[in-house]
Amino acid sequence: MYKYILIIIFFFKIGFASNFSLDQFEIEINSNFLGKEVVLFGNKDKDSDVIFIFEGENKKAKLTTKVKEGFLWINETKELNNQPSFFAIFTSPKKTLNEIFLFSNLKDRHLLISNHSLELHKIRKAMKVKNLYIEEELESLSGNLFLKKFLIPDNISPGNIKVYMYELKNNEIVKMVSKNLQIKKGGISFKLEKLLKTESFIYIIILIAISLLLSLVTNLIFRKK
């Protein structure tokens, strides 16, 4: 409920200027992370179109596709060096990827939608299967307000997701605003891992202390028996 109160307050603050926000700008992931719903909301000028792009940090990945060799289908794996960890496109009014391709200033900023190539199509398709690629329309509310709920999946990689809002008038980009959605590791295992990297000596002492304690407890149990 508090999320929607914040959204209402935000709408009063932004007035008639095209702008946006998220209900959260930081998500903590751990071994029990099951995904997280994020709410995108904002206001646009009545004569404007808006395109939102969520683009995660580039990382190495593998693309596996089936290719036919003679009478057999085999898996072909290709190494990728610049694949974003997450990619989402939200538009109002609804725009297809072919329509977005017409905005050269926009597509040149984002490699995954930079052209019509079959290779990029395969990458987007593979990411979509893993819930790491989304193409959807924003939900229009009363007036020029918009809202969109979407899921950050449980297989998301830690890092920064850049959020871009492009405002268009007469098929020209007139404004661009960017913000950051941070995906951070959390939990006990991450804290121990961080401790190992930064304070390895202290980490070793803790492990030795735990080992001695377990040994002492075990000896006491056997003595009682």
Same domain, 105 and 202: no
Same domain, 73 and 104: yes
Overall domain count for the chain: 2
Same domain, 193 and 182: no
Contacts of 57 (CB under 8 A, 6+ apart): 84, 85, 157, 159, 160, 161
The DSSP annotation for 187-198 comes to: SHHHHHHHHHHH
Closest of 14, 20, 19, 16 to residue 40, by C-alpha? 20
Contacts of 32 (CB under 8 A, 6+ apart): 187
With contact defined as beta carbons under 8 Å apart, do 125 and 18 qualify? no
Same domain, 214 and 179: no
Residue 204: domain span: 189-224
- Write down the pLDDT at residue 208: 76
Same domain, 220 and 181: no
* Measured CA distances, 7 to 27, 46, 107 (Å): 18, 19, 30
Same domain, 67 and 171: yes
With contact defined as beta carbons under 8 Å apart, do 41 and 139 qualify? no
pTM for the predicted model, two decimal places = 0.77
Same domain, 69 and 168: yes
Same domain, 165 and 211: no
Same domain, 210 and 176: no
Under-70 pLDDT residues of the chain: 1-17, 187-203, 221-225
- Write down the pLDDT at residue 192: 59
Same domain, 181 and 195: no
